[in-house]
Amino acid sequence: MWTHPYRKSDVEEGPGVRPLYPAMLESPQLRWAFIRKVYSILTFQLLATVAVAAVVVSVHPIAHFFAATPAGLALYIVVIILPFIVLCPLYYYHQRHPVNYLLLGIFTISLAFAVGLTCAFTSGKIILESVILTAVVVVSLNLYTFWAARRGHDFSFLEPFLFGALLVLMVFAFIQLLFPLGRITLMVYGCLASIIFCGYIIYDTDNLIKRYSYDEYIWASVSLYLDIINLFLSVLTIFRAVES
């Protein structure tokens, strides 16, 4: 007998709720409640990211401090590493309330600050174009994945391919860091990263529909949040390379 973290009021009542996919054995109401909860958390994460990044971009002394002072450069490295450090305890405590929300807030704010520092040295036109393109792609891929899941399609086969592609991308980035190869290479890197994270959005949305358990709402939102942020940064990389 399994239990779930939702109160009765969290679940849609009423007959006629269609299954999300053909082989669904659980209650569609419970799964829809879980999906709404994940997307609610994800929405707050994205709004917080926009707010923090906007402050970093608009208040120029912040970016100047991080770019022009030794203490700022050291602190910039800490800001970049902090989200990855927080991911470890977040994975361990992602089912423990309220610690999971506290760690999620730290993770989101620190990553939002890093995104803001990246955008601080980019023109507003490129940022706006990247946001619009990312939003259109994310919404389209989510709608497609829900449509495909209802028709019996499964995307779990993508996992090994995406993992291998991500390793290649990380090695590519490391080589580019040590031996900068120019604007064309940056564009190729951005295009590859965009394709890979589009695949991750489909894969993680499919997991949200079918495989995440009801107490994994934090980790489900983190996965989709990272996919969206990485897609945005990849698109930003492409536009910046084109402009330069």
Contact (Cβ atoms closer than 8 angstroms) between residue 46 and residue 225: yes
Work out the average pLDDT over 155-178.
89
Domain boundary assignment for the chain: 27-243
* pLDDT attached to residue 74: 83
* pLDDT attached to residue 16: 54
* pLDDT attached to residue 132: 95
* pLDDT attached to residue 5: 42
- Percent of the chain exceeding pLDDT 70 equals 93
Mean pLDDT of the chain: 87
The span from the CA of 37 to the CA of 237, in Å, is 32
Crossing angle of helices 60-68 and 70-93, in 10° steps, is: 100
* pLDDT attached to residue 69: 79
* pLDDT attached to residue 8: 41
Q: What is the DSSP annotation of 105-142?
A: HHHHHHHHHHHHHHHTTS-HHHHHHHHHHHHHHHHHHH
Q: Which of 90, 88, 86 is nearest to 99 (CA)?
A: 90
The span from the CA of 187 to the CA of 193, in Å, is 10
Largest CA distance in the chain: 63
Work out the average pLDDT over 184-212.
93
pLDDT of residue 82 exceeding 50? yes
pTM above 0.85, yes or no: yes
